[in-house]
Structure 1
Amino acid sequence: MSSPRLTVRRAAVLGAGVMGAQIAAHLANADVPVILFDLPAAEGRADALVRKSIAGLSKLQPAPLVTRGRAAAIEAATYANDLARLAECDLVIEAVAERADIKHALYAQVAPHLRDDAVFASNTSGLPLASLAEVLPERLRARFCGVHFFNPPRYMALLELISAPHTDAALLDALESWFTTRLGKSVVRAKDTPNFVANRVGVFALLLTLHHAQAQGLTPDEVDALTGPLIGRPKSATYRTADVIGLDTLAHVVRTMQDTLSDDPWHAHFHLPAWMLGLIERGALGQKSGVGVYRREGKAIRVYDAASGEYREGTGQLDPAVAAILKERDPALRFAALRASAQPQARFLWAMYRDVFHYCAVHLAQIADNARDVDFALRWGFGWAQGPFETWQAAGWRTIAQAIEADIAAGQTLAATPLPAWVLQRDGVHTPQGSYSAASDSLRPRSTLPVYERQIYPETVFGEAEPRQGETLWENAGVRLWHRPDLDAGIGILSFTSKAHAINDAVLDGVQAALDYAERALDGVVIWHEAPFAVGADLRQLAADCEAGAFAKIEAMVANFQRTALRLKYAQVPVVAALQGMALGGGCEFALQSSERVFALESPIGLVEAGVGLIPAGGGCKEMALQAAALAARTANRDPLACLQPLFMPIATARLAANAIEARDRGFAQAGDSVVFHPREVLYVALQRARALSASGYHPPLPARAVAVAGRDGIATLQMTLVNMREGGQISAHDYRVGSALAEALCGGAVDSGMTVDEDWLLAVERRLFIELLQTPETQARIRHMLDTGKPLRN
């Protein structure tokens, strides 16, 4: 099957509201030039409203732009003056208000300016595509569809792709492939039914949670304690999620359900509680108004009490018996205990699960092609750890089905509709052969679009076949070197097996031995494992050695760390670091000294040792000094200090580069490194890069033997910044000491400015300073505090 291809040289977004502007921002993140349209301003520049919206992107949190500079890729335009520019665009996304009349009027306005080969898509969250398409000229109907982004578009994986009656099937395949790789979206094909898949189930699940909370007399903070991470849902749980969405926005979505789903058996429950409607009337709309179900008072967060109409201190206490049930690892036992319990919190949880299972089973044929699509839609669009069908299947399909039937018969469910016959005829919906489609009464295998060949280890649902794990070539207690002969027998994959992929003695020895193997028998190596990439050196091992006073042992370990990093840099085969998740401290140092890096876009990386009172000593300072020297060599005065200054403060303050694009600005990535928007494609791209490097006759770089350093003058200049911060109370005396040590390591030690040194000298300087800091009580206290609390100590 040939790969469907869509080329987008320029895009347009119609509607510069919060959602439209953020869609434009993510297109800009992906280097797609984009024109953002909206109404002209009543006075001043015609495009003033759009310009204000673009400027506002830098103030939104979480940040829609990977770096502020990306906003330059977004041009402001108005419907009044600039519609002719739509002819420049290969993709046009409409993101105006969720009203059919507004959309219809806009379509009539823009249609004459759209090219016949352009894609025209609506970012509707639930309006019928068939109705929207009716007003389009026939020449555009085959190129029209729905592309429903979830908010915020940069971070939410889900994109629902919806066909209109005349949409070209090949176009949908091309769009699915483009959105997956170019924008990093996880695509679900939705049927053209109200609210599509994720909102249809997710909003219903929220409504039934509100209903059962009221029925059991549970308070919002109790419900949020029950329906968050304890059951695999986001920290915002239920009522906090409502505040984040906006209570008025939620009410609008619910009204849409009331208006468009009148024949739904659960229709009587499509409403918000009276007290929540009262908050909306008072303007308490949630996060955007500063008050909703929750209200911040100073550092305290108070919760609304419907009985008194006042805000009170939140407690969110779990019943101990229910907490014990939720700790049960076996889902079958957990659900049996919830159903058997008379405790209100347990009864609430059982009813909440039961009714969403019931709803999904009844509506599966209507809303989705198969059960896998429903589960992924809830995972990717609402942040559930497991979708409803896989949760049900893991708990014992037939047992749960019989319990639901019994509750229906007893009149305890929210609707009396019987379970579909197929539910009672099956043992589950997910199998190694595929996932069940109620519409076709068959198992649907995974998509065969070529884009999914790039996801070597795709996300799976419970009950589905697991991807093959590859053949082990060599391993020890810290690493495993393996390969997949079906992909590329000559490229080894090196995975750390330590907890959180922390770098300990076993990892260091294992990396060196694995590289020995690779140089004998392989063409290249990719360092890859599921996130995180590596959290740095094993602090527990370091703390234990400190307490024992074993500083000679620690120095030997640091030297071994440095040798391991140099082995990565000077291996006779290419070593590609595939970063899927954070790379901190030593993990960053390993990445820096690999031949190339392949980043998932949202991979934080940084030299953060200052957070525990240390400096980078696995070659991190050395690599920054080498970068500065190389950049300075291309300047008129050849002074490395000017190149070190922008690198210094982020390392001195343990500031992470939040993503791969920012990592380039911080010196943690090079211009030639790959940035992959879909994290599941990182391994594929890294294997391709390793093969390409090998095929091009790879050889390691020559050792750096004459590195010009900033020396004493550089140290003094960097220290002046620290002095000002110390005198201003921004840093402590120990922060100053750590920063001074960092300045010395980056500047090559207390030598004459402009002196040339080699890598061994730079490594010796950073190793000495690391050990000196480690012997201070303040640094040891910082390490212990980080281990105990997971947070930095500023002492």
Structure 2
Amino acid sequence: MSNFIVKKVAVLGAGVMGAQIAAHCLNAKVPVVLFDLPAKEGPKNGIVQRAIENLKKLNPAPLGNKDDASLIQVANYEDNLDLLAGCDLIIEAIAERMDWKHDLYKKVAPHIAPNAIFASNTSGLSITDLSEGFDAELKARYCGVHFFNPPRYMHLVELIPTATTKPAILDQLEGFLTTTLGKGVVRAKDTPNFIANRVGVFGILSTLNQAEKFGLSVDVVDDLTGAKLGRAKSGTFRTSDVVGLDTMGHVIKTMQDTLKDDPFYGVYGTPPLLAKLIEKGALGQKTGAGFYKKVGKDILRIDAATGEYVVGGGKADDFVARILKDKDPVKRMKALRESTNPQAQFLWAIFRDGFHYIAVHLESIADNARDVDFAMRWGFGWAIGPFEIWQAAGWQQIATWVKEDIDAGKALCNAPLPSWVFDGRTGVHAADGSYSPAKKANVARSELPVYQRQIFRAPVVGEGVADGATAGTTFFEDDSVRIWHQNDDVLVISFKTKMHTIGPGVIAGLKMAIAEAEKNFKGLVIWHADAANGGAFSAGADLQSMLPLFMSGGAKAIEPMVAELQQAFLNLKYASVPVVAAVAGLTLGGGCELSLHAAKRVVAMESYIGLVEVGVGLIPAGGGLKEAALRAAHDAKGNDILQFLKNYFLNAATAVVSKSAIEAKKLGYLKSSDVIVFNAYELLHVAKVEARAMFDAGYRPHLKANVPVVGRNGLATIMAQLVNMRDGGFISAHDYKLGYMIAEVVCGGDVDDGSVVSEQWLLDLERKAFVELLNNPKTQERIMGMMQTGKPVRN
């Protein structure tokens, strides 16, 4: 197998999508050149330069570290086409106009290197029509590569070949997109709007249609179709506002123009309310008004009848909310269908329309049912795909109900369900693959080499494959942890607590796992089964488990527990086999401290790491401040330690959380030798590889050494800064007290500048301050506030 290495990417078009795709390539350390038209006034590359400046302001941030924006190379189509010769992948991302794209292709085609892949990031135009006019050689290297917005965060990329695209090109591109850019790739057929937008936009049109029929306002619909259905919490209308109503209108128009033979064609009309808003220039979030409008602090909603904005905040009926909470999908769907409540009837109607649509269109838009489910999960943020919902709710029962509604004229069109729906099946996903109507058989998963890096691939309902929660051989399991292995040479510990918080059970589990790894394995990996699904690595210490102790014996009773936590983390650091933390998602407080004590960290790009204890009126006491003092002394290499310490101090005192793994390196939570992984499904594989490599290279833990500290002189310097912040009203008196205590620990306490202290000395300072704070009424207010509302109290 030959390597396919992308040494440089060109992105054509510095609009919203083009600039963000370029940014994400840069996140992944892929050099990128961003092209646009030459500016009519000012510097010729002004359009691109402005787009790059804008990247720094966007939220959510497209760049892992916004200082990297300057590394994007700027170019225009007049002077710089020669740069294309050095690019292995060229992604066109200009406006959705076939004629504009063709004009650009004529310009760039002569400059494309003979082995480069050329792709369009169109969201719905025909890839075959776009390739018209290329010579056969370039046609073979051309395909669609459709990123979803925002490209850094949305997992889905649709890969769309034409009849002439060389299969090897697609395999190479799938490998690059999966590992380097961290994406979930779904191959789509070259039909209008491909898979996710085709099904997703139909779903939005059906929702608009049924909302009007049942007389439901946009805020109620959003409450019904958001988190309660396991979909993006912004629901239907707010999501449309974020995407842009003009974009929505454009995608609907593509369907109107190209799908005239579709039995659902009548549904593709632009809804009158949407048309009115677009006409008024109310295009959603970017223009400040769409289905919603923010006025001061209030969010107003559009009233469909009057076209005026009125006070929003409407919610689902309690009765319907209760149905949706039922864990049994069969009962849930039956209750919605049988209820006379308009909201329940509305929900059944949109489910029915969706099932009807995907059954009728599966054969024409996708290779198999799994690709439809992944497209909706990864492109539209659904927790579970539409075919999975149908299968889980009882395939034949749902099919019968849908057929009854079609026959009764209740459905959006009278097209019958295809015969395969009723061939006695119990669903479309099984152990041997997912159903493909074209092949009349189940299709297994792709066997491309890139997927050997995913020890547990994204599962689908009904497939029955082993997952990270149950696979392998269990060495020990209780309510807090599972210690297990896959009959290889690396032991794994996975936490089972809520948000993987650290309480007595996890501490005991870590101790047991280290002992077993030292005896029989090459290393230990800390990894959790929901790492790839936005779970937390650890939200920190389990305050709830400390409560009974605190109630019975006060702060003093907590001290032994804190000492135990400190000891557990030290044991991790000095274990005689390497401990690798496989970090993904929220890694806060004690979770951050846990990762700081591992021999190495393998970190998913979307990891948010920080010491946030001040939010509950405490200071880090699991060795986080001790590690800050150690790292500052190490970074200083004999220079002024205080200069290096100030950043570590400020991060803890102001509870700074990294917005990416890249930023976590800049903040000092990660070391330069730690590995950033872009695809969270590859996290366990890479962590195991690192653990083995360290062991095989003769791993020994660091020797326990004493550390020089800045003592009372350093403390005085930091306190001067804190006094200014307090007196200027930037921090409260309690924040000032917390800042003082953090400073005292990282400076090494009341000792002379340059004194040398042990790790245990610093841990004792942490613990003493932590216990003192537990007795403080202001801290107690913060803890109770956090436990009751989940939000930090400022006092």
Aligned residue number for residue 492 of structure 1: 491
Native 8 Å contact 2:87 2:116 kept in 1: yes
Contact 2:556 2:771 in 1 (8 A): no
Structure-2 residue corresponding to 1:354: 352
Q: Corresponding residue for 2:742?
A: 742
Is 2:629 the counterpart of 1:625?
yes
Counterpart CA distance in 1 for 2:646 and 2:337 is 62
SS at match of 2:56: helix
Q: Deviations over 1:711-739 (max 9, x none)?
A: 11111111122111111111110000000
Shift in Å, 1:513: 2.1
Deviation at 1:633, TM superposition (A): 2.1
For residues 128 and 302 of structure 2, what CA distance do their matches in structure 1 show? Answer: 42
Q: Is the Cα contact below 8 Å between 1:471 and 1:483 reproduced in 2?
A: yes
Instruction: Identify the residue that residue 666 of structure 2 maps to in structure 1.
Output: 665
Separation in structure 2 between the aligned mates of residue 275 and residue 436 of structure 1, nearest angstrom: 38
Amino acid aligned to 1:314: G
**577-586 vs 734-743, greater mean Cα deviation:** 577-586
Alignment deviations for residues 66-88 of structure 1 (CA, whole Å, 9 cap, x no partner): 11122122111000110011101
Structure 1: stretches of 5+ with no match in the other structure: none
The worse-fitting range, judged by mean Cα deviation, of 197-206 and 532-541 is 532-541
Q: Is the 8 A contact 1:32 1:73 kept in 2?
A: no
2:755 aligned partner = 755
Q: Which amino acid aligns with 1:640?
A: I
Residue 541 of structure 1 aligns with an amino acid whose one-letter code is S
**Which residue of the partner structure matches residue 501 of structure 1?**
500
User: Who is 2:657 aligned against?
Assistant: 656
Distance change >3 Å, CA 280–CA 476, structure 1 → 2: closer
| Distance in 1, Cα, partners of 2:413 & 2:368 | 23
1:366-381 alignment to 2 at 5 Å? 366-381=364-379
Farther off after superposition, 168-177 or 533-542:
533-542
Give the Cα separation in 1 of the matches to 2:505 and 2:250: 56
The one-letter code sitting in structure 2 at the alignment partner of 1:163 is: P
8 A contact 2:273–2:304 mirrored in 1:
yes
Q: What is the correspondence of 1:589-600 to structure 2 with a 5 Å cutoff?
A: 589-600=593-604
- Which residue identity does 1:605 align to in structure 2? I
In angstroms, what is the RMSD of aligned CA positions?
1.2
Correspondences of 1:385-424 after superposition (within 5 Å): 385-424=383-422
Residue in structure 2 matched with residue 327 of structure 1 by the alignment: 325
Residue 337 of structure 1, CA deviation: 1.4
Q: Secondary structure at the match of 1:59?
A: coil
CA contact (8 A) 1:433 1:465 kept: no
> Is 1:685 aligned to 2:686, yes or no?
yes
1:289-324: per-residue Cα shift (whole Å, max 9, x none)? 001110111111010112122111113232233222
The alignment status of 1:580 with 2:584, answered yes or no, reads yes
SS in 2 for 1:405: helix
Q: Report the secondary structure of 1:161's partner residue.
A: strand
**For the Cα contact (< 8 Å) 1:111–1:137, is it kept in 2?**
no
- Structure 1 residue identity aligned to 2:223: A
Task: Name the SS for the 1:181 alignment partner.
Answer: helix
Structure 2 vs 1, CA of residues 693 and 81 (structure 1 numbering), >3 Å: closer, same or farther?
Answer: same
- Distance in 1 between residues matched to 2:375 and 2:416, nearest whole Å: 24
Checking the alignment, whether the CA contact within 8 Å between 2:605 and 2:660 is kept in structure 1 is: yes
- Bigger drift between 78-87 and 323-332 goes to 323-332
- Partner secondary structure for residue 538 of structure 2: coil
CA separation in 2, counterparts of 1:458 and 1:602? Answer: 18
Give the secondary structure class of the aligned counterpart of 2:34: strand
Residue pairs, 1:460-471, within 5 angstroms? 460-467=459-466, 469-471=471-473
Partner of 1:723: 723
Counterpart of 2:405, as a letter, is: D
Give SS of 1:472's match. strand
Residue 449 in 1 paired to residue 448 in 2? yes
TM-score, normalised to structure 2, is 0.98
Which residue of 2 is the match for residue 13 of structure 1? 11
Query: Is the 2:38–2:78 contact (alpha carbons within 8 Å) kept by the matching residues of 1?
Result: yes
| Deviations 1:16-74 (CA, angstroms, capped at 9, x unpaired) | 01110001000011111111000011111100111001111011111100111221221
Alignment of 1:609-648 (within 5 A): 609-634=613-638, 638-648=639-649
Map 1:197-216 → 2, pairs under 5 A: 197-216=195-214
Alpha-carbon displacement from aligned partner over 1:533-555 (angstroms, at most 9, x marks no partner): 11111111233333334333211
Q: Residue 101 of structure 1 aligns to a residue in which SS?
A: helix
Pairing 1:593-608 to 2, within 5 Å after superposition = 593-608=597-612
Q: How far does residue 477 in structure 1 lie from its aligned partner after superposition?
A: 4.5
2:140 corresponds in structure 1 to: 142
In the alignment, structure 1 residue 64 sits paired with structure 2 residue 62: yes
Deviation at 1:582, TM superposition (A): 1.6
Contact 1:205 1:352 in 2 (8 A): yes
Aligned AA (1:594): A
Residue 541 (1) aligns with residue 545 (2): yes
CA contact (8 A) 1:543 1:784 kept: no
**Is the partner of 2:456 in helix, strand or coil?**
coil
Q: What's 1:267 paired with?
A: 265
Q: How does 1:70-81 map to 2 (within 5 A)?
A: 70-81=68-79
| Shift, 1:509, TM fit | 1.9
Q: Which runs of 5+ in 2 are unaligned?
A: none
Q: Bigger shift: 310-319 or 457-466?
A: 310-319
Residue by residue over 1:494-547, the C-alpha shift from the partner in whole angstroms, topping out at 9 and shown as x without a partner, is 112222211111211221122112211211100111331111111112333333
SS at match of 2:607: coil
Q: Give the drift of 1:602.
A: 0.3
Q: After the TM superposition, which of the residue ranges 131-140 and 149-158 deviates more from structure 2?
A: 131-140
CA distance in 2, matches of 1:285, 1:784: 42
What displacement does 1:373 show? 0.2
| Structure 1 range deviating more: 213-222 or 549-558 | 549-558
Provide the secondary structure at the position in 2 that maps to 1:16.
Answer: coil
Instruction: Report the residue type matching 2:554 in the other structure.
Output: A
- Equivalent pairs: percent with the same residue? 55
Give distance in 2, aligned partners of 1:776 and 1:548.
Answer: 17
Match of 2:29 in 1: 31
- In 2, the alpha carbon distance for the partners of 1:770 and 1:751 equals 20
* Separation (CA, whole Å) in 2 of partners of 1:777 and 1:662: 35
- Aligned residue number for residue 509 of structure 2: 510
* Contact 2:513–2:524, Cα closer than 8 Å, also in 1: no
Secondary structure of the residue aligned to 2:631 is helix
Q: Which residue of 2 aligns with 1:106?
A: 104
CA distance in 2, matches of 1:474, 1:318: 43
**How many Å apart are 1:377 and its aligned residue?**
0.1
- Partner Cα separation in structure 2 for residue 358 and residue 480 of structure 1: 42
Q: Helix, strand or coil: the match of 1:603?
A: strand
Shift in Å, 1:476:
4.6
State the alpha-carbon separation in 2 of the partners of residues 309 and 532 from structure 1.
Answer: 42
Q: For residue 669 of structure 1, give the secondary structure of its aligned residue in structure 2.
A: coil
**Cα-to-partner distance string for 1:667-723 (whole Å, 9 max, x where unaligned):** 111111110000010000000000101111111100022x11011111111112211
Structure 1 residue aligned with 2:520: 521
Give the counterpart letter for 2:338 in structure 1.
A
Q: Deviations over 1:545-577 (max 9, x none)?
A: 333343332111111111101100000111001
Contact 1:12 1:35 in 2 (8 A): yes
| Partner of residue 173, structure 1 | 171
The one-letter amino acid of 1:751's match is V
After TM superposition, the runs of 4+ consecutive aligned structure 1 residues lying more than 4 A away are: none
| Matching of residue 440 in structure 1 with residue 444 in structure 2 | no
- Name the CA distance, whole Å, in 2 between partners of 1:498 and 1:266: 47
What amino acid sits opposite 2:616 in the alignment?
V
| 1:614 Cα deviation from its structure 2 partner | 1.1
Note if 1:258 corresponds to 2:262: no
Task: For 2:464 and 2:320, locate their aligned partners in 1 and report how far apart those are by CA, in whole Å.
Answer: 33
